Structure 1
Amino acid sequence: MYNSIVDGSFSQHWQKKMRRGVFFGGLVLGFFICIYFTPYQGPLPFGADVTTRVKSRIVCHFTEPESDFCEMHGDIRILGNSSTIFIPDFRVADMFTKNNLSGIKPYARKTDEIALEHVRQFSFSQEMPRCTQNHRVPAILFSIGGYTGNYFHSFTDVVIPLYTTSRKFNGQVQFLLADKNGSWTTKFQVVLKKLSNYEAIDIDKEDGVHCFPSMIIGLKKYKELSIDPLTSPDYSMTNFREFLRSSYYLKREYAIRLGSKEKRRPRLLIISRKRTRTLMNEHELARSNISEVSQLVNSCDVLMGVHGAGLTNIVFLPKNAVFIQVLPIPSGDFERIARTSFGDPSETMNLRYLEYKISEKESSLIQKYPLDHEVFKNTHTIAEKGWFYFKSMYLENQNVKLDVLRFKTTLLEALQMLSM
């Protein structure tokens, strides 16, 4: 009926013009309706409260053996000098209450009470204070307290977990450092700058409220000097060592192969200890920073040393190099600790591993105790007196003087490995 009326009143030319006008008029009207009824989605003004517009999501992991950590998405705010994290989600308090926790200490050694004495605890609140600084990138909050004064713990408790946690952000992540130590950040500044495009924030001293679109609190740790291939399938210790090689501009990817066309002789590096478990027949000690040490270690084909933090430098060795760990206890009781700390990890780094177990006569303890003493013959009884007594006896009050002729067999084995 409509078409017949229009046909009788207007020519075909005017009918087409009217239909086009109605069509475009409808588009314009729809556009203005959308603009009018759609909430504003542009950049928020400084200090704006976005609680009602962003739905929060939080996942906390409390069953990991080494660390508790949380992943938070939404409107996350932190007031550093009060150690408080703000998130508009009532479930946070319930999560911590059910796990008998009042907060989280972002350090990857959660069962070690002594380590955690030097780690700040962060609590959570639903009260949302006004932002004083907005950030467009995610944040990772972690502590460099604990045992990070120790070279081994710096790598296994912080550097490696930080690598697996932050690498996926490709530099677009803000580090928040709790329990900041100036010497630590200076020592590892190359790693920090390689993993983040932003200057790390000493969060303990911040009296303003920093706001982030997401935040990871704490670092997930697998084992000593190791990366879990199941939960971190995109990363491995091989990847981590390539990361270090790139960060410190290390030249050598592979150790020498004896019998090849390369004419130079293999190089042996002996790791020094300054206080205990020293090699008493070692003639000099060297003090170097990580950049210098990494270059030195990377230039060598064999690294050896008495069990201790200095052996962490194996991370800088070229592939297929040989690592010799000297066990400072004339007994098999210490083998598990030595294996867990350095032996097993070294094999995931594409290194060849050897152990040298000292004899009683190679220990300085022989000057204090007779050969038939329990210190030599029954280390189980020493261990039963507690870790600190065991540690004091064998790790803090013992030095090693290698029998060169006896040790020669191990060196020959290392040379044979380099020819494979």
Structure 2
Amino acid sequence: MDNSIVARSFSQHWRKKMRRGAFFGGLVLGFFICIYFTPYQGPLPFELSPPTPIDYFSIKFLSVYLIDVCILFFSGHSYRMRRVNSIFYVTTPVKSRIVCNFTEPESDFCEMHGDIRILGNSSTIFFPHFSVADMFTKNNWPRIKPYARKTDEGALERVRQFRFSQEMPRCTQNHRVPAILFSIGGYTGNYYHSFSDVVIPLYTTSRKFNGQVQFLLADMKVFWTAKFQVVLKKLSNYEAIDIDKEEGVHCFPSMIIGLKKYKELSIDPLTSPDYSVTNFREFLRSSYYLKREYAIRLGSKEKRRPRMLIISRTRTRKLMNEHELVTMAQKLGFDVVLAEASSNISEFSQLVNSCDVLMGVHGAGLTNIVFLPNNAVFIQVLPIPFGDIEWIARTTFGDPSKTMNLRYLEYKISEKESSLIQKYPLDHEVFKNPPLVAQKGWSYFKSIYLENQNLKLDVLRFKTTLLEALQMLSM
């Protein structure tokens, strides 16, 4: 052959290429034969009914194995799985891809592309084509709880865990749009946690789909979906699915498991450059048809009085002299509204948006600052003790309010303004050594300072804070 005319016409380098090409052509032919004889396991078109069950598993195992062998000979590597700082990347030759990030401080999440299937009542997510590499990794494959408070064991006790599997059951329901799987367990019975742990992370995760996304709800709570139905319908054009009760296999072209959370009531400007807290508040104004974008500016042509909302509490951390505060604020020139935070978000958001100042004792009701117009004033009243409660108050509401284009004021009560003065002497550890109280456990600490403390503000002392609020509205 080396003496042939063809061989003399090409260099040794080209002869090697031709031999490789012939070998490659044989592999490609074998590859397509494997595909042709492999039963189709992907999501079925909507107009087709599921096929009659056949012996998939023996044929599938042989065909997929042959495909893997073909690809191994062709490329030298078929499936790649690598782990970098707890971020798992898996790619396959059929453009399937999964990225799991376990490095974020608040939430774990995975993004999956390809033929993704989920069987809700078994909490299992199926991802294809792990037949070769996964034999070495499946025992170590991570599981995930799709709730954005990953370090809080108390919250995660109420969150369902999902596992991954390489087995591919037959689709019973097919979807053309991506899915987002998240839990409304955890602390979502609390209004603040609903926004911080679910609503804001859901906004940043789903907004890019412009409604073309299917929500899969784990740990379903009917009262929660009823309360936030406006948000759910604004973010998705499809009815949310209670995935825990689903006995069939739902199939999707891609899926996000878990929600990306940054900080309390905040959005990370680096990882979500297109969606800021400002965008989120605009989204809320649009969703709930809120009219006011900006608070009043005193000294302008507008002649109405600034409106002030006092969030009333009836169970814990009550303001025992609310009506005195109302009278004093009215004398300063405020139009005052006294109201308890309502579970009807559509109605209460209208009231909040109509106000220029919102004040209240630290608690979940202050979450309604998200509906205030820009440049409004937010006054948070801090019960004692300072230190732990002061840090919590600033982390949950103080710092986030500044990213919402609000003006923030803080009023720290004195011992005489607390109902605890009626139970304990001033030299008691409740006043003098709160860290010692905290050492006895969170439940004990909470029962004293948060559940059994009411406030009676010194009206003259608090007047200074309201005058400062008026000055801010003039700027």
TM-score with structure 1 setting the length: 0.86
**Which segment is superposed worse, 263-272 or 278-287?**
278-287
CA contact (8 A) 2:44 2:50 kept: no
Root-mean-square deviation over aligned CA pairs: 2.5
- Alpha-carbon distance in 2 for matches of 1:93, 1:396: 53
Question: What is the rounded CA distance, in whole Å, between the counterparts of 2:382 and 2:184 in structure 1?
Answer: 29
Distance 1:214 1:94, change over 3 A: farther
Aligned-residue sequence identity (percent) comes to: 83
Instruction: Find the counterpart in structure 2 of residue 114 from structure 1.
Output: 154
Partner of 1:393: 448
Name the amino acid aligned to 1:215.
Answer: M
- Asked if 1:138 is matched to 2:178, the reply is yes
**CA contact under 8 A between 1:141 and 1:215: conserved in structure 2?**
yes
Q: 1:403 is matched with which residue: 454, 458, 470?
A: 458
Corresponding position of 2:332? none
CA distance in 1, matches of 2:370, 2:165: 41
Long gaps (5+) in structure 2: 1-31, 68-92, 324-337
Q: Distance in 1 between matches of 2:211 and 2:392?
A: 35
Q: Which has the higher contact order (CA 8 A, sep 6+)?
A: 1
Asked if 2 retains the 8 angstrom alpha-carbon contact of 1:322 and 1:353, the reply is: yes
> C-alpha offsets along residues 182-240 of structure 1, whole Å, 9 cap, x if unaligned?
11000000000000000101111111100000000000111000000011111111110
Match of 1:243 among 283, 290, 299: 283
- Counterpart of 1:380 in structure 2 is 435
Q: Give the structure 2 partner of residue 281 of structure 1.
A: 321
1:255 match: secondary structure = coil
Q: How far is 1:301 from its partner?
A: 0.3
Does the Cα contact within 8 Å between 2:43 and 2:251 map onto a contact in 1? no
Q: Which amino acid aligns with 2:243?
A: I
**Residues of 2 paired with 1:93 and 1:301: CA distance?**
62
- The amino acid across from 2:123 in the alignment is S
Gaps of 5+ in 1: 1-35
* 2:215 corresponds to 1:182: no
Deviates more, 1:238-247 or 1:83-92: 83-92
2:401 corresponds to 1:346: yes
| TM-fit CA distance, 1:332 | 3.6
Q: What code does the residue aligned with 1:226 have?
A: S
Of 192, 206, 231, the residue aligned with 1:166 is 206
Query: Residues 367 and 74 of structure 1: is their aligned pair in 2 closer, same or farther, counting only changes over 3 Å?
Result: same
Quote the Cα distance in structure 1 between the aligned partners of 2:261 and 2:116.
24
SS of the aligned residue for 2:322 comes to coil
Amino acid at match of 1:181: K
Q: 1:382 to 1:197 in 2, by over 3 A?
A: same
CA distance in 2, matches of 1:380, 1:135: 54
**What does 1:9-28 align with in structure 2 at a 5 Å threshold?**
none
Distance in structure 1 (CA, Å) of the matches to 2:252 and 2:357: 46
Equivalent residue for 1:66?
A: 106
1:211 matched residue in structure 2:
251
Going from structure 1 to structure 2, the CA distance change for 1:412 and 1:89 (only over 3 Å counts) comes to farther
Q: What is the aligned length?
A: 383
Report the CA distance between 1:243 and its aligned residue: 0.3
2:379·2:408 contact (CA, 8 Å) conserved in 1? Answer: yes
Distance between the aligned counterparts of 1:93 and 1:253, measured in 2?
57
Distance 1:76 1:385, change over 3 A: same
Q: 1:200 and 1:406 mapped to 2: Cα distance? A: 50
**Alpha-carbon offset, residue 333 of structure 1:** 3.7
